[in-house]
A = this chain, B = another copy of it.
């Protein structure tokens, strides 16, 4: 044991950092804190007051000899000098932490470029998603994840151990081939959200102009009055629920298409078409955007009674009733039932949607087992869609399908919004009929109609 301790205190416990820029200094500071010895390699060995106390600074070659792990905190453009050190770097672990300014800036990744420059060193890509600021301030509010890749698994392991000791979470991503991906990752801005975002923007724009035509322009022309004041809330609150329902249906549509593809092919052992794969990977994001729209719809609905327009309309209605000597009127209980039921369905659907959103929080979904996750996201999800569709259907029952409400032959926007959800629900009902369900389960457990392709 004593021997092991001695070893750890020498080379294994020393880390060399090339470059005294922001990132190098912050990393050095943090490494010192958790008990490593840190040596800096630099062109000029003037100890700047910004370097953490307790480190040594020397020329590149000397520094490299002190440690088996060398962190390159320098820009890719300055990598060329390393070729002169190749005899010293032989067999060392070179940690490439660099990022670029743009996605795919160079033909090969910085780490692969480095591996070509110093072929005898073991290059590991790591730490490029960690910011200098968060290292130094200790406030790791953003990601604690350190993506690591490299061709030599022992070198990766050594680097992952360093990350662990720094209180970070290393994640092995495979060979150096994925380094380009990791370098792009740091430049990413919600890549998984891009497609769902554009889909929702597109849907919002489409339905906004559709409602503008049917509800504002058509009515203004017909009645010869300016109804543009409806845009800010009334039209918005018509567009939001429509987009929300459509997005929610788009969450469950790919799963149904996938089931039909599997039923048709009679096997699960063939890849889905690329577009279906991509669609399935962004279901969570589609669902969360649907929740956002539903939330806005809920609040826009709740402010109805305090809107100036609504109060004006209501007051005028009452005054005109009084002036026309209207008397006590029986309650239309059917209408009362209608209104209460579609509101109840909407509230329950919204509540379930929030539940789905909460279970998709990383810390919650990490705490459930696979069966529970599937139960919530699939079973409860379809029930949510059912509730929200029923909410819309009952709300518009009397005028969605009545030709008198059609403006220039255009059905109300709500009618359009029902197409995808109803399709999804009908197909789902078909899929859960016992005989189809049995077949699908068999396929998903590995059964194949004609297993020839596996040969």
Bitwise interface map of A from 357 to 382 toward B, beta carbon under 8 Å scored 1, else 0: 00011111111111111110000000
Are B305 and A315 within 8 A (Cβ)?
Answer: no
Are B343 and A233 within 8 A (Cβ)?
Answer: yes
Chain B: which residue is nearest A186 at the CB level?
B369
Report the Cα distance A190→B375, complex, angstroms.
10
Out of B296, B344, B370, name the residue touching A351 (CB < 8 Å). Answer: B296
- For the complex formed by this chain, how many copies does it contain in all? 3
- Chain B residues within an 8 Å CB radius of A306: 301, 304-305, 343
Out of B141, B308, B371, name the residue touching A335 (CB < 8 Å). Answer: B308
| A105 beta carbon closer than 8 Å to chain B | no
Are A364 and B365 within 8 A (Cβ)?
Answer: no
Are B35 and A172 within 8 A (Cβ)?
Answer: yes
Report the Cα distance A327→B316, complex, angstroms.
8
| A232 beta carbon closer than 8 Å to chain B | yes
| A83 beta carbon closer than 8 Å to chain B | no
Chain B: which residue is nearest A140 at the CB level?
B366
Bitwise interface map of A from 131 to 147 toward B, beta carbon under 8 Å scored 1, else 0: 10010000101111100
Interface set of A (CB-CB < 8 Å, partner B): 1, 5, 8-9, 12-13, 21-22, 33-36, 46, 48-50, 68, 129-131, 134, 139, 141-145, 153-154, 156-157, 165-167, 171-174, 185-190, 226, 228-229, 232-233, 236, 269, 281, 284, 292, 295-296, 298-309, 312-313, 315-323, 326-329, 331-333, 335-341, 343-344, 347-348, 350-351, 354-355, 360-375, 446, 454-455
